[in-house]
Amino acid sequence: MADIEAFQRDGVVVLRRAFDPAPYAGAAVDELNWNMEREPGKRRYHLIRAGSARFDVKRECPRVHAAVAQLVGGDARLAAPLRGFRACVARTAGGEETKEEDHRDWHVDGWHEPHSRRSGAVGLVVFWLLTDAPPGAGGTEFALGSHRAVARLLEKGDLPARALHGFDAVGDERELVPALLRRSETRSLVGAAGDVALASPLLLHRGGANALPGHARILAISCCPVDELRPGGRAPVEASLAPRRARCAVS
């Protein structure tokens, strides 16, 4: 089961050895190698189409399914059964990246619709490690506690999706993500193939820079849509969306 206290505090928890990556990693690695042969040294971020996979998460990955249900408030809250993942991305080393001062690629998932404290379109974000992610390998970076700061911001009203997606922000919106990050501790997803991270739908995150030549970090991503979120509700994913009385790690 998931660590509820850590999830509510940080916005993300990691399940170690939660699934068997072997059935899915091979095709993703093959496509990545083909991409790199075609464009040697030119790309650091790769979208891997072969990495998508449909399977019954409840049957094949019971620990993941149980933790998701625990965080969203039960199976009945899920808009549809969990069926694997559609997106798969890889980070390889190459060129220079100035991640420390670049806020543009920090984002909250759900770019296709306005952000709202009540929208369950994302529900919960699941990151599946298909390969090892040792320190420096470009593991996803999380801005711990930022989900609560984002929830406070959204108390004033919904925001267009671009406002919390650094590359797309315009005008004054460009100041939102840097302001949210200013007091936030960041942590990279470091782990072994088969580990899974479960993140709040309002948690700021980004792909890290891979500084390990010869090592590719490959992960798959899926969202778990739920019915309407209820700020301050009993489910852990809702508790951190409570009104201002909630203590926030970022302000």
pLDDT in tens, 182-234: 878 999 999 999 999 999 999 999 988 888 888 889 999 999 999 888 888 99
The band of 248, judged by pLDDT with boundaries at 50, 70 and 90, is very low
In a domain, 120, yes or no: yes
Min mean pLDDT across 35-44, 97-106, 142-151, 159-168 is at 97-106
pTM of the model: 0.89
CATH number at residue 196: 2.60.120
Question: What length is written for the chain?
Answer: 251
Predicted confidence (pLDDT) at residue 95 exceeds the cutoff of 70: no
In a domain, 34, yes or no: yes
In a domain, 235, yes or no: yes
> Structural domain tally of the chain?
1
The residue segments making up the domain with residue 229 are 4-94+103-239
In a domain, 247, yes or no: no
Cα separation of 197 and 104, whole Å? Answer: 23
Give the pLDDT confidence score for residue 222 in this predicted structure: 92
**Tens-digit pLDDT profile for residues 57-94:** 999 999 999 999 999 999 999 998 999 987 788 888 86
In a domain, 246, yes or no: no
Cα separation of 89 and 105, whole Å? Answer: 15
In a domain, 251, yes or no: no
In a domain, 249, yes or no: no
**Where is 178: in which H helix or E strand?**
helix 176-181
The band of 251, judged by pLDDT with boundaries at 50, 70 and 90, is very low
In a domain, 64, yes or no: yes
